[in-house]
Structure 1
Amino acid sequence: MPAPTVRMRRLASELRRLRKAADLTREGISERTGINEATLYRIETARARPQARTLASLLDVYEVTEPRRTELMTLLKQSAHRGWLNTFSSDLPERYTSYIEFEAEAREVLNYECLFIPGLLQTERYARAAISAVLPECTREEIESRVDARMQRQAALTREQPLKLWAIVDEAAIRRVVGGRAVMAEQLQHLSAITELPTVNLQVIPFDAGAHPGMPGSFVVMDFAEAIGPAIVYIDSQAGDLFLEEEADISRYNLVFTHLRAGALSPSASAELIAAAARDERPGRGA
């Protein structure tokens, strides 16, 4: 089954919220509407796209009025749109395609990385080296598909209404040599250039800052236009990818990011650190 689009996930999330607010079980909804419980489960988990009449029946039961009713019906109409992801969806894991869908719809991304350069800021050679090392079980074709997708994602930074990116990285991500010194030097030079964009901010947490709230691991907070829905948090780990949509989780990660931003070097001081690291990685220097 193709990965659900961001709008389809948003619709599913809203339908779950409406049912719980009405204090109804899926069994109770099935009795009132005749919609099969299994179908309701698939709709509420974004595994199935409801028909317009099915959605209308659910909104009747939940007593949803205008203008929210029209907004949700419009969300259903738009939920089949996938954009450029069609090219890759059959080659990429479902969780990754879901992430790409969310990112493509986001208006702002807060990204903290403890060991890697953020994907939206990676060069092609760095991305290939990083993916190859992290996923040694992948075939060459699978690696290239991921690299191509990562490069296409970066178009969001220069589109007509560009994605706003605020990235914070631990100094370890700047100092770790991925792909060799030439690849790393190119990557660091690219960071210096890409952060000239007015919608891109990059900060570095230096080693001498000591312990900080980001040490447990990397995360991404994505914020959307009001018509699409509230923010979400994405966490990528060895145990699997995780999307968090509860308000308490979003607030917690926003607070962590605020603390990280306060503890990191300023964007200008970060740029100086990155430029110095780039000079250190130029071929011909050191042993």
Structure 2
Amino acid sequence: MPITTPPVARIQLGQLLRKLREQAGKTQEAAAEALECQKPRISKIETGKATISAGDVRLLIDLYGADEATGQTVVQLAREARKRATARIPDWAQRYVALETIASAMQVYEPELVPGLLQTEDYARAITRATDPTPTEEEVERLVVTRMERTARIHSGNPLHLSVVLNEAVLRRPVGGAKVMADQLRYLREATELPNVTLQVLPFSAGAHVAMGSSFYILEIEHPAKATVVYVECLTSGDYVDNAAQIERFVSAFKQLQVSSSKETETAATLERAMRDLT
């Protein structure tokens, strides 16, 4: 199991501990009793929001009856999770980036901007400067480098399967000026040719729709345990939805957006028109 950053390790650790607990038929209350803590702490550990010491991990391994190989993996993850995370991105965003790193598939609706995984370097730089004017140029460049590193997920040997619906406004807003935006649209056009990327545009003519006023990311995770997480972001923070009924609403909303959007085969032509209109 590859480990890249402490936030990734925290999420993987939490997933694995939850899987082991459920396989052993143990409750969160039983785990809390073993660690002499409150049930909410177990919940935070299992969702990757809190770390756990190697000693406490061993108590849970014994409680769940995990084999030696699994136990070593869990202890390793616990050690990695407690290391200091990178300072390149805000603390509140680190969990999302970790989830993105281990996700096998994502569904995205964006009404305002191109999702990070599909941004060009110049577009990312313009967005970073526009959304927060306080960072120094050096800090901006570090954030841009991090974002560009993340785009490798859709080009790797085991690529992320990415389904995106963009509001037409995303194509019509000239972020960074005409040249930067034209390059970004051209990059999106190229991305539509990737077998693991699906891109649709929700036209203005669609009128009112199910996700008005919202943007969201649905992340599907297969390992070390199957899970679906919804991420929503505002100006200064991000939030996560892990309630099954609420997740289903987001999944249903995305399907409705896909139906209301242009067909995937029409996306390239839509992008070409947007590029011509920039001149």
TM superposition score category, shorter chain reference:
0.7 to 0.9
Secondary structure of the corresponding residue to residue 24 of structure 1? helix
Contact 2:171–2:274 (Cα < 8 Å) also in 1: yes
Q: 1:239 to 1:158 in 2, by over 3 A?
A: closer
> Where does residue 121 of structure 1 map in the other structure?
118
Structure 2 portions without partners, runs of 5+? none
Q: Shift in Å at residue 10 of structure 1?
A: 4.5
Alignment pair present for 1:143 and 2:140: yes
Which range moved further: 205-214 or 72-81? 72-81
Q: 1:241 to 1:23 in 2, by over 3 A?
A: closer
Alignment pair present for 1:131 and 2:133: no
Q: Shift in Å at residue 269 of structure 1?
A: 1.1
> Where does residue 186 of structure 1 map in the other structure?
183
> Aligned equivalents of 1:215 and 1:208: distance in 2?
14
> Where does residue 37 of structure 2 map in the other structure?
37
Output one character per residue of 1:150-183: Cα deviation in whole Å (capped at 9) or x when no partner. Answer: 1110111111111111111000001011111111
Q: 1:257 to 1:73 in 2, by over 3 A?
A: farther
Which range moved further: 196-205 or 17-26? 17-26
> Where does residue 14 of structure 2 map in the other structure?
12
Alignment pair present for 1:93 and 2:90: yes
TM-score (norm 2): 0.83
Secondary structure of the corresponding residue to residue 230 of structure 2? strand
Q: Which letter does structure 1 place at the counterpart of 2:109?
A: Y
Q: 1:81 to 1:104 in 2, by over 3 A?
A: farther
Q: Shift in Å at residue 186 of structure 1?
A: 1.0
> Where does residue 239 of structure 2 map in the other structure?
242
> Where does residue 261 of structure 1 map in the other structure?
258
Q: 1:98 to 1:274 in 2, by over 3 A?
A: same
> Aligned equivalents of 1:21 and 1:258: distance in 2?
36
Aligned counterpart in structure 2 of residue 48 of structure 1, from 51, 65, 75 = 51
> Aligned equivalents of 1:103 and 1:227: distance in 2?
14
Q: Shift in Å at residue 76 of structure 1?
A: 4.3
Aligned counterpart in structure 2 of residue 22 of structure 1, from 2, 19, 27 = 27
> Where does residue 206 of structure 1 map in the other structure?
203
> Aligned equivalents of 2:71 and 2:271: distance in 1?
46
Q: 1:214 to 1:152 in 2, by over 3 A?
A: same
Secondary structure of the corresponding residue to residue 155 of structure 1? helix
Contact 1:8–1:80 (Cα < 8 Å) also in 2: no
Q: Shift in Å at residue 59 of structure 1?
A: 4.6
Q: Return structure 1 stretches of 4+ with deviation > 4 angstroms.
A: 13-21, 69-73, 79-82
Q: 1:92 to 1:174 in 2, by over 3 A?
A: same
Q: Shift in Å at residue 119 of structure 1?
A: 1.0
Q: 1:243 to 1:72 in 2, by over 3 A?
A: farther
Which range moved further: 15-24 or 157-166? 15-24
> Where does residue 105 of structure 1 map in the other structure?
102
Contact 1:169–1:205 (Cα < 8 Å) also in 2: yes
Alignment pair present for 1:225 and 2:222: yes
Q: 1:216 to 1:73 in 2, by over 3 A?
A: farther
Percent identity between the two aligned chains: 30
TM-score (norm 1): 0.81
Q: 1:258 to 1:76 in 2, by over 3 A?
A: farther
Q: 1:112 to 1:70 in 2, by over 3 A?
A: farther
> Aligned equivalents of 2:12 and 2:216: distance in 1?
20
Output one character per residue of 1:100-146: Cα deviation in whole Å (capped at 9) or x when no partner. Answer: 11111111111110010111111111111111111122222221111
> Aligned equivalents of 2:86 and 2:18: distance in 1?
26
Which range moved further: 143-152 or 234-243? 234-243
Secondary structure of the corresponding residue to residue 109 of structure 1? strand
Q: Which letter does structure 2 place at the counterpart of 1:49?
A: I
Query: Could you say what the CA RMSD is over the residues aligned between the two structures, in angstroms?
Result: 3.1
Output one character per residue of 1:39-61: Cα deviation in whole Å (capped at 9) or x when no partner. Answer: x938736432331x522423544
Structure 1 portions without partners, runs of 5+? none
> Aligned equivalents of 2:128 and 2:214: distance in 1?
18
